[in-house]
Amino acid sequence: MKRMSEKIRITYNGETFEADKGVRAGVFIKEKDAQAGDALAAGFNGAVIGLNAPLEDDGELRAYTFADAEGRDTYWHSTSHVMAAAVKKLFPGVKVAIGPAVEEGFYYDFDREKPFTEDDLAGIEAEMKNIIKENHPFKRKEMGLEDAKKFFAGAGEIYKTEILEGIDAEKVSIYETGEFADLCRGPHLTYTKKIKSFKLLKLAGAYWRGDEKNRMLQRIYGISFPSQDMLQEYLDRIEEAKQRDHRKLGRELDLFSTHEEFGAGLIYWHPKGGVVRKEMEDFWRDEHIKNGYGLVFSPHIAKIDLWETSGHTGFYRENMFDTMNIDEMQYQLKPMNCPFHILMYKNSKKSYRDLPLRWAELGTVYRYEKSGVLHGLLRVRGFTQDDAHIFCTEAQVEEEIINALNFVMHILRTFGFKDFEVYLSTMPEEHIGEKEAWEKAQAALNAALAKAGLKYDVDEGGGAFYGPKIDIKIKDALGRTWQCSTIQVDFALSERFGIDYTGKDGNEHRAIMIHRALMGSLERFFGVLIEHYKGAFPLWLAPVQVSVLTITQRSDEYAAKLLERLKVEGIRAVLDDDNEKIGAKIRKAAMEKIPYMLIIGDKETEDKTVSVRLRGGQEAKGVDFEGFIKRLKEEIKNKDIEIREI
């Protein structure tokens, strides 16, 4: 509320101060906090503002640095404006579209007839350095909507004028950086010299507004940091990420392939990848049976009526493939498994004594994704979901969620993931079901998270259209997060399908449905595993666990016997008895990331022992072969993540 006097009351770092009305946020912060010299933006009454913004009302103020998401976004967004200013100066005919901060860095979309090249990026970086050195201020101006339309139309900026056509406001804000002016809400840094170190990373194509029917624009991605050391650390991490790229390793290790000429977003599992998948599936099935789940299998298509009842045609249509005509009726490839499990449930009457019912399926589903977002194993159009549905009473919901949370953690930790981010995703704008049911479901998820002792953040509006959910993101070896596991409480589909059970009172009651996935999809989880381990899987997952290498042909017979013994014991082993030097054989096995190598020469043949070389390079000679087999079997049974030293 505005005060009548020329003074306002500002709360900062827990203390309340009186200040002149109109004082700039950055000036106030600098006066009250000697340690806030690295502030990049400010927060005032819940809004992110620039340090040059005047404070007109009473309120709570805080400083944002690069350590804060709000500070990083401001830093990266400002750098994107500097990049756009450089592009406009170097290539005057270019039209600009949008240039936001993203999760890591920024991008800007440009419309230019001639494609940008890597050499162009070097020139743009040089011009950006000039703009930064000139230390231009980021000036915010307000302009009437019609004046803004005339301004950008006069400059030939067709994308800005199109954006303005969709704005319903009397005024808009524009930021100027030197000669460059951009339609922008901000906030921004105070001066360009605040930007210390940056790098333009790559070029890409992007359709205007993400619509394939629109013009293809050229997108330039970049990153910036307050210090060169931070930038170098990031670039090193990016280089490491390139080495871990599952698409690169998938080719090198012969794990899987894609064939866009015969269908984009579809995965071909090769024999070595198939072995890893088998181990994943066997472990998954065994653990589900131990935890009281029944294993089910469902069709890949159904009449469109099923998806109309479930609500998918109304809320999920854009992610579904076109229908197919069979016997003059419309059928739909399944995007999810849940309606099939519901039909199985309704196949016979259920009593409260039957509940909870836990049914799990490795069900292959098909979802339409735009070609521009397809990405190896991580974003596909056909994938196998490790799906499960729990049918229970309302009183059982909380306990079943806790059990599911514990199950998730057990599965993920077994695969070697230790760090997690947990989110409670609440009711989205477009949803089915009554608000009261959503509130009950969210309360159950809240209570289960509290009892499980898991810290979590709230993702407002991030729930599925049929219910709120818990999302669990795993952190890989590089600290990147991946969305895999989810637990969703669903009152809505229970109502739509009439999922009932007979209670103790002899009356019919509505069952509650819990959707649950542990790995998410086998394809995506496999991609994450490849990158997490850099293709060097733990022994229990490795496509080949032992390679037997001979030094001379004199050892071939003994080596062949060792190979047979390993196979009898269920250990995946190969024999390399080619007429090559042992160094070349070791390099080949190392390139294939095989955990153990048995090197067999004259001495090993004579002593009936083996020399063991680990994937990491450690060696041990004169090892008892039977003891080695026992050790391997224990390591496989325990699903050890690290390869044990000899």
Residue pLDDT, tens place only, 177-216: 999 999 999 999 999 999 999 999 999 998 898 888 899 9
Is pLDDT above 90 for 440?
A: no
Q: Across residues 63-74, what is the average pLDDT?
A: 95
pLDDT classification of 465: cutoffs 50, 70, 90: confident
Q: pLDDT band at residue 434, thresholds of 50, 70 and 90?
A: confident
Residues paired with residue 357 on neighbouring β-strands, in sequence order: 391
Higher pLDDT, 1 or 169: 169
Structural domains in the chain?
A: 7-65 (3.10.20.30), 70-243 (3.30.980.10), 273-533 (3.30.930.10), 546-637 (3.40.50.800)
pLDDT score of 4: 54
Tens digits of residue pLDDT in 446-459:
899 998 888 899 88
Q: What is the pLDDT of residues 257-310, one digit of tens each?
A: 999 999 999 999 999 999 999 999 999 999 999 999 999 999 999 999 999 999
pLDDT of residue 402: 94
pLDDT digit string, tens, across residues 247-256? 999 999 999 9
Whole-number average pLDDT of the chain: 93
Question: Which pLDDT score is estimated for 189?
Answer: 96
Phi-psi label, residue 376: left if phi above 0, alpha if psi -120 to 50, beta otherwise: left
The arithmetic mean of pLDDT across residues 393-406, rounded, is 94
**What does residue 260 show for φ and ψ, rounded to 5 degrees?**
-60, -30
Tell me what pLDDT residue 1 has: 44
Q: What is residue 153's predicted lDDT score, i.e. its pLDDT?
A: 94
- Using a pLDDT cut of 90, give the percent of the chain over it: 84
pLDDT of residue 577: 93
- For residue 5, what pLDDT is reported? 56
| Whether residue 47 has pLDDT greater than 60 | yes
Q: How far is CA 596 from CA 314, 485, 579, 587, 632, in A?
A: 53, 32, 21, 13, 9
Residue 432 has pLDDT above 90, yes or no: no
In this prediction, residues 134-139 reach a mean pLDDT of 96
Active site residues per annotation: 338, 367, 385, 387, 389, 469, 515
550: left (phi over 0), alpha (psi -120 to 50) or beta: beta
**Per-residue confidence (pLDDT) for residue 3, from 0 to 100:** 46
Q: pLDDT of 592-614, one tens digit each?
A: 999 999 999 999 999 999 999 99
DSSP 360: E
Contact 54, 194 (CB under 8 A): no
| Residue 2 pLDDT greater than 60, yes or no | no
Average pLDDT, integer, range 452-475: 88
Burial 92-128 (b: 16+ CB within 10 A, else e): eebbbbbbebeeebbbbbbbeeeebeeebbeebeebb
| pLDDT above 80 for 530 | yes
Distances in Å between the Cα of 358 and the Cα atoms of 127, 387, 402, 595 are: 61, 11, 14, 37
Summarize pLDDT for 332-377 with one digit per residue, the tens: 999 999 999 999 999 999 999 999 999 999 999 999 998 878 999 9
What length does the chain have?
646
Tokens of 148: 């803004």
Question: How large is the average pLDDT for residues 211-230?
Answer: 94
The backbone torsions φ and ψ at residue 21, rounded to the nearest 5 degrees and listed phi first, read: -60, 135
Distance of CA 409 to the CA centre of its chain: 18
pLDDT of residue 178: 92
644: confidence class by pLDDT, cuts 50, 70, 90: confident
| Alpha carbon separation from 363 to 269, 335, 336, 454, 531 (Å, rounded) | 16, 10, 8, 29, 24
Q: Is the pLDDT confidence value at 567 over 60?
A: yes
